Structure 1
Amino acid sequence: MPPSVWLRPERAAVGRPARRSRAEITAAAVAVADRDGAEAVSMRRVAAELGTGAGTLYRYVETRDELLDLMADHVAGEYAFAAPTGDWLDDLVDVGLQARGIHRRHPWLAERVLTAPGTGPHGADLVEHHLAVLADHPADDAAKLVALGVLSALVATFARAEHAGRDLERNAEYMAHVAAAGTHPHISALDAPPPDPAHDPLPGVLRGVLTGLLPTGSGS
């Protein structure tokens, strides 16, 4: 397996002097993905965005997959980490809500987080902040890292569901039909109020999941 892209020199050691940077290439790739989706990201397309040839990019990034890793870490730089407040749950919910904002600005990101998560410099900053927030929590290190993984995946799942809002409406329509038909008595017996568009369920879901993963009374 080749070393992480962040553990290799910025560009190949041979060839003409550098005229680009990985940061510049990554920003161009993010712009393509934000506009047209991750499937539009290719060396050729990003090179066109920069006004250069695709071969030039391979001197900085070896594969498209590396480029996607760079893109995901690049947008993780949009977090604004404040000093821990002493209320670990509020601080982690804030991280989750910031993550949702990043996903909303970059709709392609959720699929990457859920299928091929990676860690680069900005990802390491996120891990460090998460551990700083939980520095006095009695959970062990493994549980703290699991909580971060679950938090990231949960927010990505919420974000992907938001992007697929039309599909969710179609599913809700069919479930209403099933409930009215009476063929599934437990579904028919559900007493759920209609969704309130003004209500944001994510903070409550994050609180419930995080307190389940990181109980403060068990010492673990």
Structure 2
Amino acid sequence: MAGQKEEVIWLRPEQAPVGRPAERSRAEITAAALELADQEGLDAVSMRRLAATLGTGAASLYRYVATRDDLLDLMIDSTAREYHLPAPSGDWQADLLAIAHEARRIMRRHPWLPSLVVTRPGLGPHGVDLLEHLLDVLADHPAEPAHKLEAFAVLNALTALFVQNELAATHSGAQRRSSYLGHVAAAGTHPRIAATLAATQPETTAHDRFATVLARALSGVLG
């Protein structure tokens, strides 16, 4: 039994072969967890709280998900269903940036998601579909297969970090930190910081910065 629990949830049957018929489905439980996390944050998602939302007992949920980690994996993978994945256009960079912009929108829709993308990089069925699409986009690219997998990891990680910074910038402390950096630049004790800030184009949008940084990173990984 211990070995079974170590398997990812998608390798375990959704319904036990014996016992009472299932009253819930993984999809129903996952959808309720997503709604709870979107409304109240990831800390609100506990087995007890989720059971109350579904009108059942916490113990009964363990018939469907063995641990909270299982639930988090289901939640992450469920968000990958939201990607729109058109056929490759032949322009690999444009297609990868399109995937990244989709990822950014999905992560902003689910503010709890970026931290999990960084800390729990495993893939479920929908994540595997996304990886297959990226590899299809890069099918004719001369990069080594390992570098293509690295590009997938870099795209996800950089997008998650960018969204985390965007979300943090909306907090009250962000303005104080920005003001302090301006104070440091004006003091004249850190001339390189001052010169860099002076040369930064304020009209550059977050959308432009995101695309530029990601394109550079992906080009570096793929060669």
Between stretches 161-170 and 102-111, larger displacement belongs to 161-170
Residue aligning to 1:196: 203
Match of 1:183 in 2: 189
Distance in 2 between the 1:205 and 1:65 partners?
A: 32
* Structure with a larger share of its residues in helix: 2
Runs of 4+ off more than 4 Å: none
Cα offset, 1:209, TM superposition: 1.2
1:125 maps to 129
Question: Aligned letter for 2:182?
Answer: A
Of all paired residues, the percent bearing the same amino acid is 57
Q: Any stretches of 5+ residues in structure 2 without a counterpart? A: none
Aligned residues: 215
Q: Which residue of 2 aligns with 1:94?
A: 98
1:25 aligns with 2:29: yes
Could you state the TM-score of these two structures normalised by the residue count of structure 2? 0.92
Match of 2:7 in 1: 3
Distance 1:10 1:195, change over 3 A: same
Cα deviation for residue 199 of structure 1 reads: 5.2
In the TM superposition, residue 194 of structure 1 has moved relative to its aligned partner by 5.3
Matched, 1:214 2:214: no
Task: Confirm whether residue 50 of structure 1 aligns to residue 54 of structure 2.
Answer: yes
2-structure distance, mates of 1:202, 1:179 = 25
Quote the Cα distance in structure 2 between the aligned partners of 1:106 and 1:192: 34
Q: Does 1:68 align with 2:72?
A: yes
Instruction: After superposing the two structures, state which structure 1 stretch, 176-185 or 12-21, moved more.
Output: 12-21
CA spacing shift, 1:212–1:69, aligned 2, 3 Å? same
Shift of 1:120: 0.2
User: Contact conserved, 1:161 with 1:168, CA < 8 A, in 2?
Assistant: no
C-alpha distance in structure 1 between counterparts of 2:179 and 2:65, whole Å: 46
